[in-house]
Structure 1
Amino acid sequence: MTTRREILALPAALILGACASGPSASAYPPIVFVHGNGDSASIWQTTLWRFESNGWPRDRLFAPDQPYPLARDDDEVEQAGRSSTAQHMAFLREEVEKVLQATGARQVVLVANSRGGYAVRNYIQNGGGAAKVSHAILAGVPNHGVWNVPGRLPHNEFAGNGPFLQALNAPKNAQGDEVAGPVKWLTIRSDNNDKYAQPLGLWIGNPKLDTGVTYEGPALKGATNVVLPKVDHRETAFSPAAFGVMWRFLTGKAPATLQVVPEERVVVSGKVTGSGVSSTDPASGAFPNNLPLPGAKLEVYATDPATGERRGDAVLTQTVGADGAWGPLQARPGTPYEFVLSAPGYSTTHIYRNPFPRSSAIVHLRPDRIAIFERRAIALVMLTRPRGYFDPQRDKIVFENRTPPPGVVPGAGVSSSRLQLLEAGKPVHAQFNGEKIAGRTWPVVNNEVAVLELTY
């Protein structure tokens, strides 16, 4: 039994009925969404759509990109392409100040997934954020570490027994609360399906390791702690159920809908970013970042939803400038698109996306690389789910008639699958639960790769 106050979240209509202490729905304070380790602002796309669908003004929703989203191996040692906890917090503090100035608001709401929650807690506790944040929502944040094992990377920020988390979790009052007012705190966690809150270290490379962490690791004493059955690490933030918990915490009411309500006029845009290169495997693209990739070339085509084949000429052709921005593109309702990215040092990447139901300015794009061992294939296709993981015990997943797809094993710990095929120029299909997506295969010999990117 946990000593923290927890609520087992069932269907959305029943969630968090006792938590009506937030601002009124009419106040609409600005919300800043903070992404996690290795991620970008684009991961919040469907969450923003759900807030908008329930009436939260688009100009009160903000999702910044941390330039170097990966944590250091040792928080105290500089590491190329990665950020420290201090740098992460400083970035968030600067973004909050920008939002306050732009909106004229006195305080913001902070919503974070995974590592993003560390920056939120650090900012509120050590960076002056307590006076500027009304509510902090921490979804899937490993608040007590991913491991708590003596001698294992002791200065890594994910070490539960390391100095960073020990300081954040130190008691704040006589009751031993790990969070303190005046900020109102909410945590959202999985019952047992979060890859970073596991008693054994399967998802951190050692399945026999006793991590010293439990399923309850994301909960915090003194916060309102909500448990969502069966969700994975990312779904604690990006699922419809997670949105329902957030909305009720902020407004005291159930949302009108958990679905994304389509708009009549849809305009999308975003940023093209790159990735650093591993010195041991230049093809791995091991260090994603959110820096602009100037000079990248982008073409966008409408496609057939059944075959992925192009419908006519490019609807947008663009060379990316210094800021990495692409667009805007007025998307046709019900029309899927192929985004073709090419840049020196990368493979020509064909990204297939399902129709956009609403406008978005965070449709970020990143070209891929073909690894050396994959170059023997005729065609290479990747299926990716940015806002969740694949769990063959829970989900229906079909990738070109393969179920489970290559590399997908029991448990929600893998969010992509790479498939080598023997023929180029053919349709390729995938399904994840209710979402289906189609694309085309392209020849590896021409340094081309296809990506089927799921929305939900």
Structure 2
Amino acid sequence: MHTSRRRLLSLMAAAALAVGLSVAPVPRAADAAAPQAYRPVIFVHGSAGSASQFESQARRLTSNGYPIDIIEAHEYDSPNIATILPQVYAGLDARISRLLAATGADRVDLLAHSLGTFVMQGYLTSSPTRAARVAHYVNLDGRTATSPPGDVPTLAIWGEGDPARTIVGATNVHLPDESHTQTVSSPESFGEIFRFLRGRAPHTTRIVPQILGTARVSGRAVLFPSNVGVTDAILEVYPVSHLTGGRLSSRPAHRVPLTGDGSFGPFPVLATARYEFAIVRSGAPTHHFYFQPFLRSDSFVRLATSVPGEGLGALVDTSDRHTALTIQRQKEWWGDQGDAGDNLWINGRDVLNPANTPRAKRTIAIFAFDDGSDGVTDLTAPLPEFFSQTFITGMDVFIPATPAHLGVVRVTVGQRGGGYDVVNVPNWRSSAHRITVNVDDF
């Protein structure tokens, strides 16, 4: 985060705390000036993805007047997409019908990324009736085509890679300096998307904070990468100190059971404050998620975890002596681009390098822990069982823990293009705790 932006948020948070929480109304679909003032927007993610990829763009849409409750994501089990396509299509049919009935809109606008473009091109070409309910389609860094799918007006945005990629007959925009996931989350792609959907430039490409009031946050706790909801767990939400990441109260501000599809909220939160979301399961490590300020209402929060003892979490070495981190950002980490790349310091050590985060790897999630629990950091090579996964890397970093989690892990991001973000979290023992740090992509 740029220094000036961090100062602004600090001042806004102080002002909000001084006057107390005054609720700022969240726009609803019924508040639109006319039933078709804003069409519903549906985002469809790619491989191993979720609504998280579109979280920043959703907040940019609401910063430009869109009601939050007409922006949705259609999530699915991407590793098994070949066998579940009919169910995915049927679910999207139902979602579109519900949104059209709720808003009175004539059609929806549909956006898809990567593998999602395969899913959505197939959907639009599967039936003229389906295509007729879609006003615009945005194809984000995915499949090419010889014509607009279903003859729906199409915008195709392409990132780095083959400049010859195109959808014939569509509006094709190339952003050669942006990486694969970055094409979904960047302000540049938002400007193109908004102009295509609305026929004019957006008022802003920023995420405009809700000042002197509360935002409302909701989302899902899901198993990675299937997007199946977490059940038989409790979600606790705590306001935390921006200096230490420590809880400001021993009692959670919100405590709810997770059932069904793992949905939670909406919860009122101070837009410029910091929060911890903790998934608590009997007999299993607590999974702590830390966020930078939400800035404004957000319905796309995703808490990606795993079944205890299964998935990538089972490959993380644990002990009472060290902390284990997962650090994720919806914009690739570049460790091999010199001054044009990123920096990521954990307790003052820059952990990115050409071996563990080359640009070509398209890493968005980093697992950092003491491999072998030997108290030694070794960054000469990535951990192969993590590096072999799409969009993921792993690194051997010894992060000391304390029994009472009274210490601090300082995570500092040097963003390519300028600016710094700092997220401080408690140094929980990995033997009983998991930590995910969510870094803004803007």
1:270 equivalent in structure 2: 219
State the shift of 1:178 in Å. 2.5
Distance 1:129 1:34 in 2: 16
1:378 aligns with 2:388: no
Instruction: Select the residue among 402, 422, 438 that pairs with 1:436.
Output: 422
Where do 1:155-174 residues align within 5 Å? 169=145
C-alpha distance 71-114 of structure 1, shift in aligned 2 (>3 A): farther
Taking the aligned partners of 2:55 and 2:270, their CA distance within structure 1 comes to 18
Q: Corresponding residue for 2:138?
A: 137
Note if contact 1:349-1:450 (Cα within 8 Å) is conserved in structure 2. yes
For 1:317-341, what per-residue CA distance to the aligned partner results, in whole angstroms no more than 9, with x for missing partners? 2222334222332112321111111
Give the AA of the match of 1:399. Answer: W
Aligned counterpart in structure 2 of residue 185 of structure 1, from 154, 164, 171: 154
Output one character per residue of 1:2-52: Cα deviation in whole Å (capped at 9) or x when no partner: xxxxxxxxxxxxxxxxxxxxxx99832222121222222233221111011
Instruction: Provide the aligned length of Structure 1 versus Structure 2.
Output: 355
Bigger mean CA offset, 337-346 vs 414-423: 337-346
1:390 counterpart residue number:
333
For residue 111 of structure 1, give the secondary structure of its aligned residue in structure 2: strand
Report how far residue 71 of structure 1 moved. 4.2
Name the residue aligned to 2:382.
none
- Aligned counterpart, 2:47: 37
Q: Corresponding residue for 1:114?
A: 114
- 1:89–1:122 Cα contact (<8 Å) kept: no
Q: Report the TM-score, using the length of structure 1 for normalisation.
A: 0.72
Moved more, 293-302 or 178-187: 178-187
Amino acid at match of 2:248: R
1:419 Cα deviation after fit: 1.8
Give, as a single letter, the amino acid of the residue that structure 1 aligns with 2:186: S
Relative to structure 1, the CA distance from residue 230 to residue 345 in structure 2 (aligned partners, 3 Å threshold; closer, same or farther) is: farther
Provide closer, same or farther for how the CA distance between residues 123 and 442 of structure 1 changes in structure 2, counting only shifts above 3 A. same
CA separation of 1:249/1:422 partners in 2, compared to 1, >3 Å: closer, same or farther? closer
Question: Which structure dedicates a bigger proportion of its chain to helix?
Answer: 2
Superposed displacement of residue 216, structure 1: 3.6
Q: Is it true that 1:305 corresponds to 2:242 in the alignment? A: yes
Task: Assess, with a 3 A threshold, how the Cα gap between structure 1 residues 133 and 311 changes in structure 2: closer, same or farther.
Answer: same
CA apart distance, 1:305: 1.2
Q: Superposition pairs for residues 286-297 of structure 1, below 5 Å?
A: 288-297=225-234
Over 3 Å counting, the alpha-carbon distance change for 1:97 and 1:216 in structure 2 is farther
Alignment of 1:340-355 (within 5 A): 340-343=278-281, 347-355=285-293
TM-score (norm 2): 0.74
Which letter maps to 2:64? Answer: N
Does structure 1 conserve the Cα–Cα contact (< 8 Å) formed by 2:222 and 2:262? yes
Counterparts in 2 of 1:324 and 1:26: CA distance versus 1, 3 Å? closer
Per-residue deviation, 1:229: 3.0
Between 1:50-59 and 1:343-352, the stretch displaced more is 343-352
How much does 1:373 deviate?
5.4
CA drift of 1:343 comes to: 2.6
How many Å apart are 1:404 and its aligned residue? 4.2
Cα offsets for 1:86-131 (capped at 9, x unmatched):
4433332332222222222221111111122222211211133221
Question: Structure 2 counterpart of 1:27, which letter?
Answer: A
Tell me if structure 2 keeps the 8 A contact 1:396–1:432: yes
Question: Could you list the per-position Cα deviations for residues 270-297 of structure 1 after superposition, in whole angstroms to 9, with x for gaps in the alignment?
Answer: 222224xxxxxxxxxxxx2222222212
1:37–1:71 CA contact under 8 A, matched in 2: no
Q: How does 1:357-376 map to 2 (within 5 A)?
A: 357-368=295-306, 370-372=313-315, 374-375=317-318
Contact 2:287 / 2:436 at 8 angstroms: preserved in 1? yes
State the distance in 2 between where 1:323 and 1:41 align: 14
CA distances 1:146-181 after superposition (whole Å, capped 9, x unpaired):
xxxxxxxxxxxxxxxxxxxxxxx4xxxxxxx42267
Greater mean deviation of Cα atoms: 423-432 or 44-53: 423-432
Against the structure 1 CA distance between its residues 413 and 250, is the aligned structure 2 distance closer, same or farther, given a 3 Å change threshold? same
Question: Aligned Cα RMSD in Å?
Answer: 2.5
Deviation of the 1:215 alpha carbon? 4.8
Q: Show the 5 A alignment for 1:51-450.
A: 51-66=61-76, 68-72=77-81, 75=82, 78=83, 83=84, 85-127=85-127, 128-141=129-142, 143-144=143-144, 169=145, 177-179=146-148, 182-192=151-161, 214-217=162-165, 219-263=166-210, 264-275=213-224, 288-313=225-250, 314-343=252-281, 347-368=285-306, 370-372=313-315, 374-375=317-318, 378-385=322-329, 387-392=330-335, 393=337, 394-400=340-346, 401-405=348-352, 407-411=356-360, 413-420=362-369, 421-424=398-401, 425=405, 426-428=407-409, 429-433=411-415, 434=419, 435-446=421-432, 448-450=433-435
SS of residue paired to 1:272:
strand
Residues 440 and 450, structure 1, Cα contact 8 Å, conserved in 2: no
Flag as ranges the 4+ runs of structure 1 deviating above 6 A: none
Q: Distance in 1 between matches of 2:149 and 2:233?
A: 46
C-alpha spacing 1:56/1:118, structure 2 compared with 1 (3 Å): same
What is the aligned-residue identity percentage?
A: 28
